[in-house]
Amino acid sequence: MYQFQSSLPKLPLPALEETCKLYLKIVAPLLSEQELAQTQAAVEEFQQESGKKLQQQLEIVDRATKTSYVHDYREESFSEYRAPLIINKNFGGILTPISTPELPQAKLAATWIVDTLKFYLKIKRRKLEPDRDSPRNGNQPMCMIQYDNLFGWNRIPGIKRDTMCHSPERENVVVIYRNAFYSLQPLKEDKIAPVRQIEQQINWILENTSFDQPGLGALTAMKRASWAVVREGILALDPENARCLDLLDSAAFVVCLDETAPTNIEAGSQNALHGDGKNRWFDKPLQLIFTSNGYSSINVEHVGIDGFVIMRYLYEVNKERLSQNQELAEDSSVELELPTKLQFKFNEEILALIKQAELEVESYISEHETKVLDYQEFGRNLIKNYRLSPDAVVQLAIQIAYVKLRGKIDCVYESVHTRRFAYGRTEAMRSVTPESIELIGTLIKQDSDEAKYAALKKAVAAHVSRQKDCQQGYGVDRHLSALLRLATAQGMMPKIYQDKAYKALGDSTICTSSLAAGMGMELFCFGQVVDNGYGIGYIIKPDSITVSVTSKYQQTQEYIELLKESLSDLGKLMAKFGS
């Protein structure tokens, strides 16, 4: 698993001059001439004065750290986030069904528990084959550090900053049903109990849980400082509460059994992203969710893990589920006791706070909507046949649809992985380029189809070039953010960070990310970054494209329709001129 880890290169620290040059290129399409002139002056001053000093300091940090110049501050920035995790930070996804109809709820959950534990044991025994980059990038081995953050972790709320608690020794699994929490021990001395035994335990939970449980899980959907205070109150109230929270904190992962029955992919996406906000534990990196009608989904707290880790996990589990060797890792000698219910002790004050959290999360969920585009006209195969980048084409359609809706372009964020480097995670790619603006201009002006297609090819090439730079560690966001953190710690605030351009980067109106198709996830969803923006998750499948769009009622359905139209327009151009 870690045989290539020590040989992975360190994430490069870009030169200040190169970052500033790229920064100006990135923000130029978002600014007026006057605003760009002000930004150029602020950047020049930064390069000659404070930026030079900060860069020297960052070079010292880079030489001294065993991780990367950006790693530690990125982990801190995740943990310092104070707003609710639900929708804002946790992402969700609908899992690919293996059979139609799916297994009954209890057997489905039991099967996933067994196969997830098989994956966990691969990590524990260091038997997991290292990830490799795509063939077009040379099949390079990638950093595997994040896999150790998937199981047995919990995010503990704090007043100013959360902490990550790792308790790998207990290896229990927590099941939540009707807001009640149960601890199961399906793994003992690296032996996994059979599916049938776990299924019996889950059926026992389904049959013996009443409706009158307070919505404890809603507390993890609160603002982080508020939740920290309530958690301390729960711990102080009774020693039994500490034992219960310890079982939750140490659990390998959480299984949520929902009584809901989503009837379509859109309802399923909403259940994956937030559900009712109560039958969950949003502090856990891995939550598996199973509805009464067989919808399977996942919810991920990703302070320590990114989407690529989840995709590898799902791929491995689906491989197990499709194999004929379901019983190989199971051991009938593992005898399971009845599930242990976590018997929390609450007084009237704590119950009132839980009730308040239930109302708050219900209100918070109601402020958001998630819509889904299941685009069936074409997918990855057709785009690649025309020798264009599928990701670039989808990203351009995202921009075109936004301009059609709002009459202007705003900042677009796309997450790009940097895992070919040790401790690499992501770089923020800024997808708006001069070439994408030119393409949009040809569409607005109704230029000839030849001009439109020529602009499309240029915009795709520019997108691919910028994406490759980000994969190599040469974006601007992580570098400038690291310099800003050093400046803030020393009471400095250079003009470049007070400028409209830098604020525009922080306000990623269109926040996007994609996951690979064929790995076990049908749909990928997350929330918007700013109140007037969109969170857009997409999966480009061989012959279709699935897009989830979440916003605070920012004409989401209208945007979906315009995105469909924009994809079709680009499809017609490709069909007419592609070869």
Residue range 509-523: mean pLDDT, rounded = 95
At which residue do the structure tokens 């030119």 appear?
Answer: 438
Q: SS3 of 255, please? A: strand
Q: What is the pLDDT of residues 560-574, one digit of tens each?
A: 999 999 999 999 999
Segment holding 570, helix H or strand E: helix 556-577
Is the pLDDT assigned to residue 413 strictly greater than 90?
yes
At which residue do the structure tokens 């592609």 appear?
Answer: 578
Half-sphere exposure at residue 145, Cβ-oriented, CA atoms within 13 angstroms: 17
Residue 324 — pLDDT band, cuts 50, 70, 90?
Answer: low
Query: Between residues 320 and 32, which one has the greater pLDDT?
Result: 32
User: φ, ψ for residue 453 (rounded to 5)?
Assistant: -70, -35
Q: What is the SS3 assignment for 183-246?
A: EECCEECCEECCHHHHHHHHHHHHHHCCCCCCCHHHHHHCCHHHHHHHHHHHHHHCHHHHHHHH
Residue 134 — pLDDT band, cuts 50, 70, 90?
Answer: confident
- Residue 28: predicted pLDDT: 94
For all residues of the chain together, what is the average pLDDT?
Answer: 94
Residue range 4-29: mean pLDDT, rounded = 95
Q: What is the spatial distance between Cα 133 and Cα 421, in angstroms, rounded to a whole number?
A: 11
Q: What is the pLDDT of residues 455-513, one digit of tens each?
A: 999 999 999 999 999 999 999 999 999 999 999 999 999 999 999 999 988 889 999 99
- What percent of the chain has a predicted confidence (pLDDT) above 90? 87
- Residue 97: predicted pLDDT: 85
Is the pLDDT assigned to residue 325 strictly greater than 70?
no
Retrieve residue 162's tokens.
Answer: 């959360």
Q: What is the spatial distance between Cα 570 and Cα 561, in angstroms, rounded to a whole number?
A: 14
Q: What is the SS3 assignment for 278-333?
A: CCCCCCCCEEEEECCCCCEEEEECCCCCCHHHHHHHHHHHHHHHHCCCCCCCECCC
Is the pLDDT assigned to residue 327 strictly greater than 80?
no
Q: What is the pLDDT of residues 418-449, one digit of tens each?
A: 999 999 999 999 999 999 999 999 999 988 99
Model confidence, pTM = 0.95
Residue 331 — pLDDT band, cuts 50, 70, 90?
Answer: low
At which residue do the structure tokens 């209100």 appear?
Answer: 363
Q: SS3 of 254, please? A: strand
Q: What is the pLDDT of residues 264-308, one digit of tens each?
A: 999 999 999 999 999 999 999 999 999 999 889 999 998 899 999
The structural domains of the chain, ordered by start, are 82-367 (3.30.559.70), 370-474+509-579 (3.30.559.10)
Q: What is the pLDDT of residues 138-158, one digit of tens each?
A: 788 999 999 999 999 999 999
Q: What is the spatial distance between Cα 53 and Cα 46, in angstroms, rounded to a whole number?
A: 10
Residue 53 — pLDDT band, cuts 50, 70, 90?
Answer: very high
- Residue 557: predicted pLDDT: 98
Is the pLDDT assigned to residue 326 strictly greater than 70?
no
DSSP calls for 69-109? TTHHHHHHHHHT--S-STTTT-EEEEEPPSSSSPPPHHHHH
- Residue 298: predicted pLDDT: 97
Helix-helix angle 224-237:239-250, to 10 degrees = 130
- Please answer whether residues 281 and 247 qualify as being in contact, where contact means their C-beta atoms are separated by less than 8 angstroms: no
Residue range 80-96: mean pLDDT, rounded = 95
Identify the burial level of 91 via C-beta atoms within 10 angstroms of its C-beta, where 0-12 means exposed, 13-18 middle and 19 or more buried. buried
